Chains A and B, each alone.
Chain A
Amino acid sequence: MKNIALLLILAIAFVGCNDDDDSPSNVVMSINLSQNWDETNVTAADFGTTEFTNQNGEVLKISKLRYLISKVTLYNSYGDAIELPGYNLVDISDDNTLSFTKNAVFPPGTYTRISFVYGFNEEDNIDNAYEDLNIDWAWPDMLGGGYHFMQQEGTFKDPNGDPQPYAYHNGTARVSEGVFEQNFITVDIDLEDYSINDNAIIDIKMNIAEWFKNPNTWDLNVFSGGLMGNYDAQIDMNQNGQNVFSVDVAIVEE
């Protein structure tokens, strides 16, 4: 995230050089992150209290949700692809992490696409490379190393109605000893309906319910913990994750 400051400085310089009424305007965008359960907003206030029912009918409470996104890239009508440097470890319990960037200045144009990586791609998922992530986000070497992509934890009611813990942790998939499979997700979303050519706020939305829903109906009674080294569980997470993210755009009127 440190490099975002540099980008902003460069962007501001770009604004300074184009202070000409005849020039097209730069585009100022903020990129936020929010979470919902089938369109019902989810915040830290729901942790440990609000009951959600997943596709398989299990009633669960979330106590932790953290996930990583990287390589956030905006594409405009001139064919420019502007990648925001850095990554963001989103922690729903920390409001400071619920924005990737605020008021970043982009070159003029109509922005038609946004893409990002959920987790790190293979090139970026480097062991021990990110000091701030080393404290409690590393993915064990025996499972392919690098970093977690998501930690979702909480409790669910088993068939007897007793609370049981679950830890839905996602990262690189271990095929067999020493053999690993990339498990990140590239999310690519069309923005053409929004005609973004002026100030806008893009909200990247995670529908948490989708992690349990489509195409794999998740049975927490079977897959509740010890999932990091479970290849099938990791691949199922990846498949379900394909439908988790969407965006909303708000055009900011001056």
Chain B
Amino acid sequence: MKLNLISLVFLSVILFSCSNDDSGPDYNPTEVGLEVPEIFDLLLPDPLIPANNPQTVEGIALGRKLFYEPLLSGDGTQACADCHFAENAFTDPDRFSTGIDGLIGDRNAMPVFNVAWNFNEKFFWDGRALSVEDQAFGPVVNLIEMNNTWPNAVASLQATDNYPDLFLDAFGTATIDSVLVTKAIAQFERTLISGNSRFDKHLLGEITLTDSELNGFNVFMDETKGDCFHCHGSDANPLWTDNIFHNNGLDTSFEDIGLGKVTNDPLDHGKFKSPSLRNLAYSAPYMHDGRFATLDDVINHYSEGLVWSYTIDPLMKTFAEGGVHLSPEDKADLKAFLLSLSEPEFTTNPDFQDPN
């Protein structure tokens, strides 16, 4: 009897060990690291990967499929990728994106790349999402965008032939839920890494930039000229953004108060996140509301178009004169430098395209 009791306990432990794992015996995802660009490895802290959502081959593949999956929308017609186009560095060439019901948003879709190096972990133009996963929750239920409910989106995926098995492979359960959907999308989005532009190659000593590009970089770094680096990084910061929120002198008053709506602080009114300057060749229009169609418009804004408002960033120091009044040559060179931060291969990377 004593022996049998021990055996029973032993078997129970084994049974418990097995039954305590929802993933089942076939759950064996392959963990994989991010492909960190050499220039990031040299200059930046390690990317942020949450402990509860490690990168796996299966999770990334599922996330990629979901990113291009219209079933996430209320009428099954719109995917994340319909506002975040790979050829546009995962932003929308339209100033405002159009949702499934024809409703139009009021901000330009943010480009999606290098999100694992957003050390502030504040996403969207106004910082209202606090992780990549958190960000992915929003658009599905946004009334203007995908106008769905998460239960409905999950039910649509659950009813397919393939998704339950893909979730089983990625997360060890065939029972789909919104948390797992956003985890998978976040894993895919973390692989959208851009760090191999002409300027990166220049920093690594692989190519030489043109004189115009080099002078443009000096304009960018010169506090008395462009003074772009305080918000948009430098040769020490290959993200080309500080991921912080600024009022960059666009308006004298605000219809969209940006960060202020999130923090409920009037001193944050009119502040929006600095976007990265990578891939500007593909990501027009520019600014949170896409008001500038061209890069020339953007440069002209900082050169002659600044206006005062009560939360304007002190770095917009020449607002009283409208800006720093760059010479035509400096403007052209600055533009040439900015375009050297674009990476054509990022927009055509086969690993980032529609797998469906």
Contacts and interface: CB of A to CB of B under 8 A. Distances in A.
B330 to A, nearest CB: 15
A128 B42 contact: yes
Given A165-B312, A229-B223, A135 B230 contact: no
Contacts of B193: none
Contacts of B230: 136
Interface string B190-234: 000000000000000000000000000010011110010111011
B224 A229 contact: yes
A165 B227 CA distance: 14
Which DSSP category, helix, strand, loop or mixed, fits chain A's interface? Answer: mixed
B314 A226 contact: no
Contact of B314 (A49, A131, A141, A153): A153
A63 B245 CA distance: 13
B108 to A, nearest CB: 23
A47 interface: yes
A165 B319 contact: yes
B221 A142 contact: yes
B236 A138 contact: yes
B154 to A, nearest CB: 37
A133 B218 CA distance: 21
Interface size class of B (residues with CB under 8 A): 35 or more
A88 interface: no
Interface in A39-62: 47-49
Given A134-B44, A135-B233, A136-B242, A142 B218 contact: yes
A127 B308 CA distance: 35
B315 interface: yes
B320 A135 contact: no
A212 interface: no
Interface residues of A, number: 31
A224 interface: yes
A47 B233 contact: no
A204 B43 CA distance: 31
B45 interface: yes
Contacts of B311: 48
A15 to B, nearest CB: 32
Contact of A132 (B45, B233, B315, B318): B45
Nearest to B310: A163
B77 interface: no
Contacts of A163: 308, 310
A108 interface: no
B329 interface: no
A134 B44 CA distance: 7
A228 B234 contact: no
Contacts of B222: 140, 142, 229
B104 interface: no
A225 B239 CA distance: 25
Query: Which residue, of A64, A165, A169, has the highest number of chain B Cβ atoms within 10 A?
Result: A165
Contacts of B314: 63-64, 153-155, 165-167, 225
A165 B317 contact: yes
Interface in A160-189: 163-167, 169
A92 B311 CA distance: 18
A138 B315 contact: no
Given A47-B267, A142-B222, A135 B315 contact: no
B45 A226 contact: no
Given A155-B314, A165-B316, A166-B317, 18 more contacts: A47-B267, A128-B235, A128-B236, A131-B43, A134-B236, A134-B237, A135-B119, A135-B242, A136-B237, A138-B234, A138-B237, A163-B308, A165-B312, A165-B317, A167-B315, A167-B317, A226-B223, A226-B317
Interface of A: 47-49, 63-64, 127-128, 131-132, 134-136, 138, 140-142, 153-155, 163-167, 169, 224-229
13 contacts: A131-B45, A134-B44, A135-B233, A135-B243, A136-B231, A136-B237, A138-B229, A140-B229, A165-B315, A225-B314, A226-B227, A229-B222, A229-B223
